[in-house]
């Protein structure tokens, strides 16, 4: 993202951009806030009851339906997101412990393994390296979640431990 690409999309000169923002970082930050709001709408619309799967499926659907916005938020140079991601991660892990009976260590590992898988799946799709329907992507996500849930069990320890 640069001033010229933004002004081209808006069909205006660069002057309004330079008058409205102190620099490119401020512009990227404002764009990041707006794109995160669009992503937030996906989260609100997702009907999955589990907070974890609601988060995962809305993340995947966002990548599926808005690959360029996904790449802006999660690509090589993402805008600063503050503490929101860390707070959300702590909330998910806390709920996994309370609802699933996982130890903190197991919940963190479960979360990490799902995050790596779902982020990889989303990135492959957003970059055109995976050509599945939404139902195909959703099925892969649900299968992986079920496999990890089975692997970790609800006892708080991985079954192989």
Can you tell me the mean pLDDT for 135-152? 91
For residue 129, what are its two tokens?
């390296």
Q: Which range, of 1-10, 108-117, 127-136, averages the lowest pLDDT?
A: 1-10
Q: What is the pLDDT of residue 82?
A: 60
Cα separation of 98 and 148, whole Å?
17
Q: Is the pLDDT of residue 144 over 80?
A: yes
Contacts of 154 (CB under 8 A, 6+ apart): 100, 101, 102
Can you tell me the mean pLDDT for 144-151? 90
Q: How many residues does the chain have?
A: 161
pTM exceeds 0.75 for this model: yes
How high does pLDDT run on average in the chain? 84
Q: What is the pLDDT of residue 77?
A: 65
- Distance from the first to the final alpha carbon of the chain: 46
pLDDT per residue as tens digits for the range 8-29: 877 777 777 777 878 777 888 8
Four-point Cα dihedral 159, 136, 95, 104, nearest 10: 40
Where are the extended beta strands (E) located within the chain?
none
At 155, is the pLDDT very low, low, confident or very high (cuts 50, 70, 90)? very low
pLDDT per residue as tens digits for the range 49-108: 788 888 899 999 999 999 999 988 887 666 666 666 788 889 889 988 898 888 999 999
Q: What is the pLDDT of residue 110?
A: 92
Backbone phi, then psi, for 13, in 5-degree steps? Answer: -80, 175
């Amino acid at each position: 993202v640069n001033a010229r690409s933004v002004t081209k999309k808006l069909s205006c000169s660069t002057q309004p951009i330079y008058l409205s923002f102190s620099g490119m970082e401020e512009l990227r930050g404002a764009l990041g806030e707006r794109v995160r709001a669009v992503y937030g709408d996906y989260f609100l619309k997702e009907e999955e009851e589990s907070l974890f799967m609601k988060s995962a499926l809305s993340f995947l659907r966002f990548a599926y339906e808005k690959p360029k916005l996904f790449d802006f938020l999660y690509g090589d140079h993402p805008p600063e997101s503050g503490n929101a991601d860390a707070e959300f991660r702590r909330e998910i892990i806390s709920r996994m412990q309370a609802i699933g009976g996982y130890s903190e260590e197991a919940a963190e590992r479960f979360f990490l393994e799902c995050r790596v898988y779902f982020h990889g799946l989303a990135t492959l799709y957003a970059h055109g390296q995976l050509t599945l329907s939404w139902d195909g992507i959703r099925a892969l996500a649900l299968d992986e979640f079920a496999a990890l849930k089975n692997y970790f069990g609800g006892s708080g320890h991985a079954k192989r431990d």
